[in-house]
């Protein structure tokens, strides 16, 4: 297989782009580095496409390796024909290679294997040839009777021979492929309750039958979980007559004395060997498809959550709500430094609202608080009500917001949190983390395993290796897209920078603690275990403000400094311009540097003079205009509140504003100011047909919704965006 050509076709890009990209990957370059600093080489491929291409490249290379291994294994058995070798070589999926290898694979003891040991293979071959048009099959089986070989009668001989034929049918790659596809196209998945009388969250699936080819991905994951929990029984149902009819046409060639025998053998082969195997494959196929889609959705949601804009310059009261043990309070300054911490008891059983208000007033007046943050977990609704009422009756210019606390408890009890704040207890760490999530979501959320940040579905039921890989890639891309302040970043944040491993990130912080602030990027080369290759990969993503080199606070890579400085000289831009917020008139200055040219031609001429590609020159110009620009500025801002809605206040037809908290296959969950997020079903997201909710909304979006229904008993609110 020509892997390069195939990748070019699949991704609809040029062969040269694939060749160059594969070469960069093979040289050990990271995806963020390739996407950002090798645009001319790749033709400007995005980080997302590069990751997909890298994953597909690994699959195709693994496929080629497996082909070579299978060819070798069959050759060692002396059974490799030219025709079979050609079939294996042209296979495009791993499943086909395994199907072709199946007849030659060492099996556990089977009925067919035992029959072969008893010398019945020649009889099986004779029956399979179907040349006898008259006579009794038992007569032809008599020569194979041998009590010493456990073949006491002709009937036993025929049975053993048919077992061999049944396995041959089940091992035929073309038969299996056809049955597999027919099962998927015409089969269904049937779900029953383990106990029909028991009320469970899976009630809606009881007695349901749905076509394999049409069942939605989220439903597959739901019934898988129900089956795992012992609440559901799940079966794959295929059209039996169609399957057996197809196999009979492949095996039975006209009339012979073995026709009825072969009919029974075909049915046995399908029911005993093929059907159970294909059923397992169908379940696996559906699960893989559902997991793949769920991982994509989870990755997109995670990206949106990580790219929520930071709320800078605010002093924060951060509250982690609770009942019996009270609500933990952390007070943090504009940089996230802990100023004070305490506990308040506004909820049951103490309901100390007066005491809570007294503590809040004291903190607000002492520390000049701007924002109150409340976690969305246990007792959030009650705590929010107390805070909202308190703010209403006071003249403080303070707003509050709700922060998703998913994963906060995991972080606060982790080894990492203990290392960062050894003198604080778990609950105070958790409260502080919630406040920091508002100040800089990306910097705080990287400390948590991405699958625990609460924007997926069924994440704990799927392939954890694939999920971790996908989410790790998303976090890495986000961190490198934003850039990292080398002098303030935590080891957790640094470890996601291209080219920096966990141990090296700790070495960077250690160097910083021992030698003071980094004054320039070159100083990174003094860090233990950070060599030239790692420096090349990471340098452009690490920022230094107020250092020796103005360009160090931009995303311009050190390899382009000479060209950037030559451009600055040509255009009269100085380091002070960059330090002072950027050279906003750089486009005009480039045009003025080439007065005889048209505006669009001057850029090309500048790139030529500097020895740069136009994409890299454009990136440098953008950085000169706005050094260290944060791409999160383009995202919707955080929504602050000044009041709280009661569930009882909600009425059908009411129109509200809300924030999208999670997007799943079947719709979007929207925070409308009550404890429980409302659901906008996919059918209610748009007046037009949409394939997936992500075509319309993303995590963090502010949306207008109308209430369709309120179920007070279940605490559920159905919403629509069809206003």
Question: What pLDDT is stored for residue 715 in this prediction?
Answer: 83
d(CA 267, CA 511): 72
Q: Distances in Å between the alpha carbon of 295 and those of 5, 48, 55, 469?
A: 28, 14, 14, 10
Q: Are 499 and 534 in contact (CB under 8 A)?
A: yes
Q: Is the peptide bond before 349 cis (omega within 30 degrees of 0)?
A: yes
Q: Are 42 and 53 in contact (CB under 8 A)?
A: no
d(CA 267, CA 249): 12
The residue written with tokens 């994963």 in the block is 407
Helices 259-268 and 240-251, axial angle in degrees (round to 10) = 130
Q: pLDDT for 64-123, tens place per residue?
A: 999 999 999 999 999 999 999 999 999 999 999 999 999 999 888 899 999 999 999 999
* CA-closest candidate to residue 216, choices 309, 286, 298, 288: 286
In the predicted model, residues of the chain with pLDDT beneath 70 are: 642-645
SS (H, E, C) 382-430: HHHHHHHHHHHCCCCCCEEEEECCCCHHHHHCCHHHHHHCCCCCHHHHH
361: left (phi over 0), alpha (psi -120 to 50) or beta: alpha
Task: Say what the pTM is.
Answer: 0.88
Q: Which helix (H) or strand (E) holds 193?
A: strand 188-193
Three-state SS for 483?
coil
Q: Are 482 and 308 in contact (CB under 8 A)?
A: no
d(CA 40, CA 35): 10
- CA angle (173 as vertex; 169, 177 as ends), nearest 5: 105
Question: What pLDDT is stored for residue 645 in this prediction?
Answer: 65
Can you spell out the DSSP letters for 259-321? Answer: HHHHHHHHHHIIIIIIHHHHHHHHHHHHHHHHHHHHHHHHHHHHHHHHTSPP--S--EEEEE-
Question: What pLDDT is stored for residue 629 in this prediction?
Answer: 87
% of the chain exceeding 70 in pLDDT: 99
Contacts of 424 (CB under 8 A, 6+ apart): 338, 341, 432
Question: What pLDDT is stored for residue 426 in this prediction?
Answer: 92
Q: Distances in Å between the alpha carbon of 334 and those of 339, 412, 566, 602?
A: 10, 21, 38, 44
Strand partners, 403: 375
247: left (phi over 0), alpha (psi -120 to 50) or beta: alpha
Question: What pLDDT is stored for residue 644 in this prediction?
Answer: 62
């Amino acid at each position: 297989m020509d892997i390069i050509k195939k990748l070019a076709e699949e991704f609809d890009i040029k062969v040269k782009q694939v060749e160059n990209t594969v070469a960069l990957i093979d040289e050990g370059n990271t995806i963020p580095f390739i996407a950002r600093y090798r645009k001319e080489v790749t033709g400007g491929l995005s980080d997302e496409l590069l990751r997909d291409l890298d994953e597909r490249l690994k699959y195709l290379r693994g496929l080629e390796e497996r082909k070579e291994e299978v060819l070798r294994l069959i050759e060692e058995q002396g059974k490799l024909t030219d025709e079979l070798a050609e079939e294996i070589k042209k296979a495009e999926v791993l499943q086909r290679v395994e199907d072709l290898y199946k007849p030659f694979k060492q099996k556990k003891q089977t009925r067919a294997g035992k029959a072969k040991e008893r010398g019945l293979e020649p009889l099986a071959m004779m029956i399979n040839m179907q040349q006898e048009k008259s006579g009794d099959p038992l007569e032809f089986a008599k020569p194979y009777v041998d009590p010493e070989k456990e073949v006491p009668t002709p009937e036993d001989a025929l049975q053993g021979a048919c077992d061999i034929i049944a396995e041959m049918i089940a091992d035929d790659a073309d038969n299996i492929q056809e049955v597999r596809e027919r099962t998927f196209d015409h089969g269904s998945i049937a779900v029953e309750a383990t106990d029909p009388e028991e009320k469970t969250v899976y009630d809606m699936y009881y007695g349901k039958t749905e076509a394999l080819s049409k069942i939605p991905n989220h439903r597959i994951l739901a019934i898988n979980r129900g089956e795992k929990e012992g609440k559901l029984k799940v079966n794959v149902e295929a059209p039996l007559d169609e399957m057996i009819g197809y196999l009979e046409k492949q095996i039975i060639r006209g009339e012979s004395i073995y026709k009825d025998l072969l009919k029974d053998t075909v049915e046995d082969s399908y029911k005993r060997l093929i059907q159970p195997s294909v059923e397992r494959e169908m379940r696996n196929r559906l699960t893989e498809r559902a997991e793949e889609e769920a991982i994509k959705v989870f990755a997109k949601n995670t990206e949106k959550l990580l790219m929520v804009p930071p709320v800078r310059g605010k002093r924060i009261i951060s509250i982690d709500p609770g009942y019996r043990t009270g609500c933990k309070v952390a007070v943090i300054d504009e940089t996230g430094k802990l100023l004070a911490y305490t506990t308040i008891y506004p909820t049951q059983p103490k309901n100390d609202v007066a005491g809570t208000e007294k503590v809040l007033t004291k903190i607000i007046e002492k520390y000049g608080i701007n924002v109150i943050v409340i976690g969305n977990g246990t007792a959030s609704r009650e705590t929010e009500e107390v805070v909202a009422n308190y703010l209403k009756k006071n003249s403080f210019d303070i707003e509050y917001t709700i922060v998703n606390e998913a994963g906060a408890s995991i972080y606060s009890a982790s080894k990492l949190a203990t290392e960062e704040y050894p003198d604080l207890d778990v609950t105070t760490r958790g409260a502080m983390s919630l406040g920091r999530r508002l100040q800089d979501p990306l910097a705080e959320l990287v400390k948590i395993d991405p699958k625990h940040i609460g924007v997926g579905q069924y994440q704990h039921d799927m392939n954890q290796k694939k999920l971790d890989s996908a989410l790790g890639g998303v976090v890495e891309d986000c961190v490198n897209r934003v850039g990292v302040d080398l002098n303030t970043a935590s080891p957790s944040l640094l470890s996601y920078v291209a080219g920096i491993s966990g141990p090296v990130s700790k070495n960077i912080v250690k160097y910083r603690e021992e030698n003071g602030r980094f004054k320039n990027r070159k100083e990174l080369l003094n860090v233990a275990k950070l060599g030239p290759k790692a420096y090349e990969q990471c340098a452009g993503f690490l920022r230094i403000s107020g250092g020796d080199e103005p360009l160090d606070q931009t995303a311009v890579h050190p390899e382009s400094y000479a060209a950037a400085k030559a451009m600055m000289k040509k255009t009269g831009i100085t380091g002070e311009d960059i330090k002072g917020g950027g050279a906003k008139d750089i486009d005009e200055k480039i045009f003025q540097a080439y007065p005889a040219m048209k505006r669009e031609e001057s850029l090309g001429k500048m790139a030529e003079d500097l020895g740069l590609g136009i994409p890299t020159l454009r990136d440098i110009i953008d950085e000169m205009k706005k050094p260290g620009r944060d791409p999160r500025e383009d995202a919707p801002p955080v929504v602050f509140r000044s009041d709280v809605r009661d569930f009882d206040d909600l009425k059908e037809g009411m129109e509200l504003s809300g924030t999208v908290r999670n997007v799943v296959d079947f719709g979007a969950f929207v925070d409308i100011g009550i404890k429980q997020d409302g659901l906008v079903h996919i059918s209610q997201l748009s007046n037009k047909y949409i394939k997936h909710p992500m075509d319309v909304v993303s995590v963090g979006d502010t949306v207008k919704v109308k209430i369709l229904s309120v179920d007070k008993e279940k605490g559920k609110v159905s919403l629509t965006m069809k206003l």
